[in-house]
Amino acid sequence: MKKNHYGKIIFLTILILVVGSWFIPTSTFVDGTFTKAGYSPMGILDILFAPLQWFNWEFVGRQLFTDGTSVLAYTYTGILLFILMTGIFYAILGKTGAYGNLITKISKKLEDKKILALVGTAIFFFLFSSLIGVRLLAFLLIPFFISILLKLKHSRISAFSATFLPVLLGSAVSITGSEVSGVNRVLFSTAISGQMILKIIFYLLFLLAFLFYLLYKREPRLEKEELEEYEVDSKKKTTPIILLSIFFFVILFVTSFNWYYVFDMPQVTNAYESMKEVMIGNYPIGNILIGMMEPFGYWTGFTMSGVLALFSLILVFLYSIPLESVKEAMVAGCKRMVKPILAIVVAMIPMVLISNYGTGIFVTISSWIYRPLSHVVTLFTSIVMFLHSFFVGDYFAAASLTSSVMPTLEGVTMDLSILSMQIVHGVVSVVAPTSIFLVAGLGYLHIPYQKWLSYIWRLALLLLVLGVVAITVVGVVS
């Protein structure tokens, strides 16, 4: 098995950031003017302490409720908890016998339609990402699809390319995705419908290029590649699992998709407030039941993990899983998610360092880029977003950093700049060592980072050049 050089690559990325802070002065950007502000060097020991700071660190952003109050945009430790709970959930599913029975039945029906299953899975996740765009929900679904694809003798890298990859690429051409289009609407106060025809054109081009590449690079599963572990009992009924899965998924979708961000629909959050106000006599039953739960539309990994825990508990009682088997499942689920969690923690170090020391050096670099490109704003935005996306693996954070150095824009130029940001970030997240969803997926399927780079770099380069050049040309013409 090839060694995974991800540790060396992410360390080099962090080192470039730290050493760069020693030699590049910081700057500020106020009212369209860049001003130098001295140096803010990062310390070597900060690299060692960053993972510890990670667990108490939250990226604070402007996330608006219907009443306009600001709250924490992301609690990244909630992501770790949700991933851990996903591992436990699937391990318990595997103990039911019914889940293995369901996978076996589906795989047998698709035995002669392996290519269709691969393409269908890829299209589903591409659509899911661009239209819904809640990555934690996608992560929850992916192990189920991967089990089927591996059972159909597709390789792990092909299974990854049909699940994790389209989630990343789909965000590049997001139409109504909560974590991209919704963020754009809040950060830039623009309509979702802006440049919709151009978005659809890019959408189709990216989807077709991705599907062609997926089939061109398709690999059969090697015998030494392990399959997902689950028990199979043909006597166990699969209907309860199917119905419960649909029920809980709908709950998680309604409560984690930000309806207000995307569609300016406060009704979902208002329903939460109405439920809290339910009284039986003088007894505040609604407030007692809901408690401190996050408002609907704003659920994070913490609350979603609680729902998964409840689902798992129901499965334990429904299928009479022995306590010893539950303990085994919990241990196995945690072990399965160790690599993804460690990869995420390490990938987040550059963002923690940037948060601690500020974005001054990136403002300085942006000023260098702006001088020759001041009349080609969309190209300037694309290059700056590339820089931020490489070191910051989250769209909200990268877009916030990029918007802080953008000149005042409006109309078509603003819409094109926003489109260029989401395209650049989506494509960069396919290869960047700081891409949280990417490294989590590679860790889950035990795919070496350098193997993935050699597999995907051609498609990433093609889509990046296509997106940036096309938007720049349209911007110049406009």
Predicted confidence at residue 225, as pLDDT, reads: 56
Q: Which residue has the higher pLDDT, 234 or 437?
A: 437
Confidence of residue 148 (pLDDT cuts 50, 70, 90): very high
And the tokens for 87? 């591992």
And the tokens for 320? 């009479």
Please tell me the distance from the alpha carbon of residue 456 to that of residue 435, in angstroms, as a whole number.
14
User: For residues 237 and 102, is the Cβ–Cβ distance under 8 A?
Assistant: no
Confidence of residue 427 (pLDDT cuts 50, 70, 90): very high
Question: In terms of Cα–Cα distance, which of 98, 174, 97 is closest to 133?
Answer: 174
Confidence of residue 60 (pLDDT cuts 50, 70, 90): very low
Please tell me the distance from the alpha carbon of residue 252 to that of residue 59, in angstroms, as a whole number.
23
Average pLDDT on 199-224 reads 87
173: Cβ–Cβ under 8 A, 6 or more apart, which residues? 130, 199, 202, 203, 206, 207, 422, 423, 426
Please tell me the distance from the alpha carbon of residue 425 to that of residue 429, in angstroms, as a whole number.
6
Please tell me the distance from the alpha carbon of residue 149 to that of residue 154, in angstroms, as a whole number.
6
DSSP string, 222-272: PTTSPPPP----TTS-SHHHHHHHHHHHHHHHHHHS-HHHHH--THHHHHH
% helix / strand / coil in the chain, to the nearest 5?
A: 70, 5, 30
Predicted confidence at residue 1, as pLDDT, reads: 47
Predicted confidence at residue 253, as pLDDT, reads: 92
Predicted confidence at residue 366, as pLDDT, reads: 85
Lowest-confidence range among 16-20, 251-255, 360-364? 360-364
Lowest-confidence range among 35-44, 102-111, 131-140, 238-247? 35-44
Lowest-confidence range among 16-20, 39-43, 278-282? 278-282
Predicted confidence at residue 58, as pLDDT, reads: 46
pLDDT tens digits along 276-300: 667 676 776 766 666 667 778 888 8
Among residues of the chain, what percentage have pLDDT more than 70?
Answer: 87
Task: Give 114-175 as a 3 state SS string.
Answer: HHHHHHHHHHHHHHHHHHCCCHHHHHHHHHHHHHHHHHCCECHHHHHHCCHHHHHHHHHCCC
Phi, psi values for residue 34, rounded to 5°? -90, 130
User: For residues 112 and 99, is the Cβ–Cβ distance under 8 A?
Assistant: no
Q: Would you say residue 43 has pLDDT above 90?
A: no
Average pLDDT on 319-334 reads 91
Q: Would you say residue 54 has pLDDT above 90?
A: no
Question: In terms of Cα–Cα distance, which of 285, 284, 259 is closest to 271?
Answer: 259
